[in-house]
Amino acid sequence: MLPGSIQISGESLSSAEVQDVVESLRENSVRLLSLRGCRFSDRDFGRVCRGLAESHSLAQLNLNLGVVGSLERVRLLAEALQANRSVQSLFLHGSPLTDAGLALLNPALSVHPSLVSLDLGDCMLGDEGVNLICGLLPPDGAKSGLKELTLSANPAVTAKGWARLAIAVAHSSQIRVLNLDYNPLGDHIAGMLTVAVASSRTLEVLDLEGTGLTNTSAQILLDMVENYPTTLRTLILAENDISTDLQQQISDLLSEGEDEEEGDAHEQEGQGREKPPWIAQQKNSSSQMVLLTSGLGDNLFAETEM
């Protein structure tokens, strides 16, 4: 029997219900475990973590909305992830980690062999937390790192922290999706991020919804997509003070860029030449666009929950 999923949201779980979850983990019968916003005792949380440590089937773990609500729970989760080898997506959105909690968790995240998607949105992170996250985006030629990163709604991060992240993204050989929505970035930080996007060979989705951008940022983004090759295909600019005309121009240019790249890919196929990997990725995915309304890029497995 193929592994299934356990998805529970906003419930108070009894010890018996937690035991069912733990047994499923130990029996390798669950691939997706979501306990989003659920309430259960610290003792039961420890039991879930021990089941996580033993599981070989679990690929996606969703503990969003305060499930990891203390440093003790962070410690237990870190110990479990040190032993686990299978988890590919970890969602901790809305957990009060702070930089101190992420410091406890980071050693396990850094050495995990399978983790490619991480949601740390609304986790009360600051510059030190972002500095730790940069270590999960190794430079070209280093070990594999995150392909999808969500840092939505972490307003304590300063320009210094975002600058460090921009440098890491510029040199990351893996990152495909970056969600920075609802952070007070402003035009200055957006300019740094534009340089990172132009340097990246893999970034496909950038979410800048509600980040305090103006037409100044949009003009820089327009210049980038008009004059420089980029793998970017989805740019989310909703809830910013940016004119519809500029957003439409960016959208049109991204669409034109994809058409040209697909044509080049077909030509290379016809001539028997090997396609660069980023060309192949673009050919098999959705159209480039600027999203003018709310939305997030698809996760590697299921959902990014707010």
Reference 170, options 205, 141, 198; nearest CA is: 198
Per-residue pLDDT tens over the stretch 26-50: 999 999 999 999 999 999 999 999 9
Of 68-82, 115-129, 244-258, the one with minimum mean pLDDT is 244-258
What span, in angstroms and rounded, lies between the C-alpha atoms of 228 and 242?
21
Residue 249 scores a pLDDT above 80: yes
Q: What is the pTM of this model?
A: 0.84
Residue 283 scores a pLDDT above 90: no
What span, in angstroms and rounded, lies between the C-alpha atoms of 242 and 214?
5
Residues 235-247, mean pLDDT to the nearest whole number: 94
Whole-number pLDDT of residue 109 = 97
If one compares 20 and 279, the residue with the highest pLDDT of the two is 20
Beta bridge partners of 235: 206, 290
Q: Are 191 and 222 in contact (CB under 8 A)?
A: no
15-26 and 42-54 helices, crossing angle to 10°:
10
Q: Which two tokens stand for residue 305?
A: 């929950």
Q: How confident is the model at residue 3 (pLDDT cuts 50, 70, 90)?
A: confident
If one compares 157 and 272, the residue with the highest pLDDT of the two is 157
What span, in angstroms and rounded, lies between the C-alpha atoms of 291 and 175?
20
What span, in angstroms and rounded, lies between the C-alpha atoms of 72 and 77?
9
Residue 71 scores a pLDDT above 60: yes
Q: Taking CA 159 as the corner, what is the angle to CA 222 and CA 184, rounded to the nearest 5 degrees?
A: 70
98-111 and 127-134 helices, crossing angle to 10°:
0
From the CB of residue 261, how many other CB atoms can be counted at a distance below 10 Å? 20
Per-residue pLDDT tens over the stretch 269-279: 444 333 233 22
* Residues contacting 198, CB < 8 A, separation 6+: 224, 228, 230
